[in-house]
Amino acid sequence: MQFQIYSTGLYSTWIYYPSCSTLFDCGEGAASSLGKRVFGIDRICLTHGHTDHIAGLPTFINARNRSVGDPFRPLTIFYPEGDRYILAMREFIKKTQGNRLRYPLTWEEINPGDSIPLAENGRQCLETFRTNHNPRLLSFGYRWTEKRKRLKEEFRDRPDIGTILRDTPPAEKGRYEETYSSRLWTYTGDMKSCEIDEIRGSEVLVTDATFLDPEDRAQEEERQSHMTMEEAVELAAEAEAGHLYAIHLSERYHRDRIQETADAMRARHPDLKITVVYPRRTYTVK
């Protein structure tokens, strides 16, 4: 599952997923890094209205209007209902670009528990879930899920099940199979915590690992609003995630210290794959 990610705590975070034509958050520099790929994006999903997650919007929306790509392709921006910073940004964009956009731009307010359908067949969607980031700000994460079929528990060990399924008409397969929701990818945005069930079983979990030392968090203006890398790893392990991407790291830490911490975490949880997204680097994940 290919994606592109940039994340430096305080400065900018964005994640581009070509296979669902979606950009998650739109920090400063998103459009200049993405170049013509902005035309492949149909929706932007915002987690909350902090500047480092939305400051790239004016440039992105402007870049999407140029004729080097398809300037008529509609764009929808999903964001937490009533977020005052995003509403202010929306107003700014309307005032500065509203009259000259060639494509339909739609702003859609959503809430935790809402779901955005991705494919025509209705098998994939983005589900939102509440995160605890700032008590005065509604924030949520996005869970990319796919409806899949599997054998019902009681049939899994039957050696002749392959033959049975082959001889069963599609309409009657429900006797042996069940539909379940597979969590392909989960992005929490900035957070201190969330309900563990919301992220349980994610194949890939992308989450906040701003600090290495909990003491550094106490000095922040907005206390208790981010996780440490250790907390992120423990959360991912408890949620039985397959692969953790630790993002939003503060650039105050030396690369070697980040690596040391990550290695210690890998030794503690050998079953969890851990990738650190170092500050100030754009990653393409294949």
Report CA 284 to chain centroid distance, whole Å. Answer: 15
Cα end-to-end distance, the chain, whole Å: 6
- The residue written with tokens 């494919």 in the block is 119
The span of 36-44, 50-58, 107-115, 161-169 binding Zn ion (CB under 5 A) equals 50-58
CA 198-200-248 angle, to 5 degrees, is 75
Q: Between the CA of residue 234 and those of 90, 204, 274, what are the distances in Å?
A: 37, 15, 11
Decide if residue 50 touches Zn ion (CB under 5 A): yes
CA 7 to chain centre: 12
CB of 130 to Zn ion, least distance (A): 14
Q: What would the DSSP string read from start to end of 72-127?
A: TS-EEEEEETT-HHHHHHHHHHHHHHGGG-SS-EEEEEE-TT-EEE-STTS-EEEE
Cβ atoms within 10 Å of 66's Cβ, excluding its own:
12
| Distance of closest approach, residue 135 Cβ to Zn ion, in angstroms | 12
CB of residue 248 to Zn ion, shortest distance in Å: 6
DSSP secondary structure code for residue 142 in this structure: E
The nearer residue to Zn ion, 39 or 79, going by C-beta atoms, is 79
Q: In the complex with Zn ion, which residue's Cβ is closer, 137 or 285?
A: 137
Which of 7/65 has CB closer to Zn ion?
A: 7
Of 118 and 209, nearer to Zn ion (C-beta) is 209
| Residue 52 is a binding residue for Zn ion (CB under 5 A) | yes
How far is 101 from 94, CA to CA, in rounded Å? 10
The minimum distance between CB 177 and Zn ion, in angstroms, equals 42
Q: Does residue 217 interact with Zn ion by CB under 5 A?
A: no
Q: Which is nearer to Zn ion, 127 or 190 (CB)?
A: 190
- Please report whether residue 83 would count as binding Zn ion according to CB under 5 A: no
Q: How far is the CB of 53 from Zn ion (least distance, A)?
A: 6
| φ and ψ at residue 126, rounded to 5 degrees | -105, 120
Residue ranges in 179-198 that form contacts with Zn ion under rule CB under 5 A:
190
Least distance between Zn ion and beta carbon 25 (Å): 8
Task: Tell me whether residue 132 or residue 168 sits nearer to Zn ion (CB atom).
Answer: 132
| Contact flag: residue 231 with Zn ion (CB under 5 A) | no
- For Zn ion, which stretch binds (CB under 5 A), given 49-57, 120-128, 254-262, 264-272? 49-57
Q: Which of the ranges 18-26, 44-52, 55-63, 276-284 carries the binding residues for Zn ion, by CB under 5 A?
A: 44-52
Strands 115-117 and 75-80: unpaired
Q: Check if the beta carbon of residue 89 is closer than 8 Å to that of residue 56.
A: no
Where along the sequence are the contacts to Zn ion (CB under 5 A)?
50, 52, 190
